[in-house]
Structure 1
Amino acid sequence: MGSAHDDGGDRRREHRLRDVRPLDPIHSLKAKLGLLVVASVTVGVLITWVGLRNDLGPSRTFPLAIIVSLVLTQLLARGMTSPLREMTAAARAMADGDYSIRVRSTSRDEVGQLAEAFNTMAGDLESSDRIRRDLIANVSHELRTPVAALQAQLENLVDGVSEPTPATLELSLQQTERLTRLVTYLLDLSRVEAGASALTLTQFSVGDFLEECAESMSMVDAAKGLAYVVDVTPEDLVLEADVERIRQVVTNLLQNAIRHSPHGGTVRLDAYPEQDDVVIEVSDEGPGIAPEDRERVFERFASGAPSVRSVASTSGGTGIGLAIVRWAVDLHGGHVAVADTESGATMRVTLPAEARPAPGVTTE
């Protein structure tokens, strides 16, 4: 295996040595073609002149001049078109699922620019393919876990191994809710992909809203024994926004905080005005998020640094939740970020107090 790899590397090095590219510094393909014509004609004329001066005669001078001109043209043209051949080979490899091949781009003309664009496209395709494979693996795993648990519980009930006690039914309900959350995330993601951007704007009390969100989440994830603290200043703080979208934002952030909070920890929900905006913060006492990961956690399907914590994994590892948070906040013309904290993690959402949806977003 190693020998074949070495042979392939040797062939590539040998191939590159054959591709002479003295015209790479020239920025225009037209100028290169002009120089190629001038060079071949000049060499042909020079050989003809030298041959006639040495009494070689036209029968020997002209064929020699033609052959040398053709060799020179072939040599220079091969270097000029080498990126195109490499792109052809790379495109065939991509058709077979290999996105790792890159084109050697040393020229500065249109062919070199095309090669650079091709390499960028190949990198994007490789990243997209990796994300797709990771998503399929993560979603398959997340679906399999609650489905297997639910199936085992139902089989025990059917076979009479266990009785349909409230505790048994509660476990089944929890697995069903877990499946529902995952399906909801995937449906929300499809809306993101489709560019859904309609908002139903209403004015509501931030304090009552956050209390309701905290209460609903405390019932769902009671096993950890977390304490929820809601602090809204002033108490009559109001916000104009799409209630369901903001509920989606806060719920995803709470699930993220719950997932990474220690047993018996505290999850805080703070809200306060800041100039013409309303800031909502969701904080936990988990391991925190490294500064270099704080922007990446909001990317679709990102799962954060394994050594720190799977920050974007609000649906059990798919990395969809925080991407949906950013999408919903962006629709409102706001922004979301990870705040600097000494311990734990704090997600800070900033929204206009009076609705100012992003350009292109329709309102009802």
Structure 2
Amino acid sequence: MSRPRGQGAGRPRPVKAKISIKTKLGTLVVVSVFITTGLLLVALETSTELRFITVFSVIATLLITQFVAHGLTAPLDEMNRVARGISHGDFTRRVRGADRRDELGDLACTINRMADDLEAVDRHRKELVANVSHELRTPIAALRAVLENVVDGVSAADPETMRTALKQTERLGRLVETLLDLSRLDNGVVPLRARRFEVWPYLSGVLKEANLAAGRRALASGSGHHTRTDVHLHLDVSPPELTAHADAERLHQVVANLIDNAVKHSPPHGRVTVRARRGESPESLDLEVVDEGPGIPEPQRRQVFERFNRGGGAAPGKGDGGTGLGLAIARWAVDLHGGRIGVAESARGCRILVTLPGVPSPRP
């Protein structure tokens, strides 16, 4: 894309030369020596007493040193104040002087970046607590209402009432299981067991499980995953003998969550295509999940993989009912492989592209 005029198109930003503190201190020493030498020469030329020259030299050197020292210690004092505030939970403070062209400027940039990261983590923690509380409150309130009606004699403990209670219990179980997965992710205790497998039978089994699970949930009027049986799932693997190297269990999470999300946002009697191709390196895999729904606007394409993000656009009359964690789990599993996941351009609907390397990249 070409940049509009008036926004600095084609004008490289000037790179400021960096002047280290060592250079500044060396310059201070040289200037002090020159001042002392100059005053000494003046004393020899004018027959001024040496003690006056010494006093003037010391005063001049002290003034210059004080000026330079203030320029070096003032930023350190401010950094100390900001760091003390961060240690007490105030992540809004920032250090000035990040544009300095020395080591203190680099340190200021580092502290500001650390404050940005800590502020983002703190905000995410608060959002996580709020979202988890909301997610748990809904099924717990519904389950409590069902049980209170049974205890109070308002409704009988018939199979239909028990199915309603079971539905909310299953939803709680799925949410807790997903949160446990996220906890293992954050703690870095999830191992990656990669192996070589044939793609066609593997993905065919995943799609068959998705259809069977949707049918069972539709009969039980469940929630938390899609209950639609009108959407056709199509598998396209080329070549048919394609093989890949990945963790089959983690890849199952990726494909199942992507299919679930695609089905939810498909139009009535729509079509979801799972397409697999060979990647650039041996045993690598390029995987696509394409639906015929409304698609995802470009500004929201990065946000859909955030935790508890519920993208709009579900089919009319088809409530989402999900936790907003499916795509976050998919991104986590792909990152665990050292691969990439993202929303790709598509003429119609939403197209999510997953790229897995043949050999998992070493994690830092």
Which band: TM-score by shorter chain?
A: 0.7 to 0.9
Aligned to 1:21: none
Give the TM-score taking structure 1 as reference length: 0.73
Aligned to 2:251: 246
> 3-state DSSP class of the match of 2:231?
strand
1:296–1:302 Cα contact (<8 Å) kept: no
Gaps of at least 5 residues in structure 1 are 1-23
Equivalent AA in structure 2 for residue 115 of structure 1 = A
The CA distance in 2 between the partners of 1:232 and 1:283, in whole Å, is 11
Aligned to 1:358: 360
CA distances 1:248-301 after superposition (whole Å, capped 9, x unpaired): 122222333355456x46351433444676554434454422224334533x53
Aligned to 2:155: 162
Counterparts in 2 of 1:93 and 1:225: CA distance versus 1, 3 Å? same
1:211–1:230 Cα contact (<8 Å) kept: no
Give the TM-score taking structure 2 as reference length: 0.73
Aligned to 1:325: 330
The CA distance in 2 between the partners of 1:90 and 1:108, in whole Å, is 20
The CA distance in 2 between the partners of 1:327 and 1:45, in whole Å, is 67
The CA distance in 2 between the partners of 1:84 and 1:332, in whole Å, is 42
Gaps of at least 5 residues in structure 2 are 1-15, 222-226, 315-319
The CA distance in 1 between the partners of 2:112 and 2:65, in whole Å, is 28
Which structure 2 residues correspond to residues 1-364 of structure 1 after superposition, within 5 A? 27-40=19-32, 42-43=34-35, 66-103=58-95, 104-193=97-186, 194-199=188-193, 201=195, 202-203=197-198, 204-220=201-217, 225=228, 227-233=230-236, 241-261=246-266, 264=268, 266=270, 268-274=272-278, 280-298=287-305, 300-301=306-307, 303=309, 315-317=322-324, 320-332=325-337, 334-350=339-355, 356-360=358-362
The CA distance in 2 between the partners of 1:308 and 1:46, in whole Å, is 79
Displacement of 1:234: 5.9
The root-mean-square deviation of aligned C-alpha atoms, in Å, is 3.8
CA distances 1:29-66 after superposition (whole Å, capped 9, x unpaired): 11111222333455566678879999997777655654
> 3-state DSSP class of the match of 2:343?
strand
> 3-state DSSP class of the match of 1:198?
coil
Equivalent AA in structure 1 for residue 214 of structure 2 = M
Counterparts in 2 of 1:94 and 1:143: CA distance versus 1, 3 Å? same
Pick which of 334-343 and 234-243 moved more: 234-243
The CA distance in 2 between the partners of 1:329 and 1:212, in whole Å, is 21
CA distances 1:38-96 after superposition (whole Å, capped 9, x unpaired): 33455566678879999997777655654454333222211123321221111111122
2:307–2:328 Cα contact (<8 Å) kept: yes
Sequence identity, in percent?
40
Counterparts in 2 of 1:100 and 1:56: CA distance versus 1, 3 Å? farther
2:211–2:229 Cα contact (<8 Å) kept: no
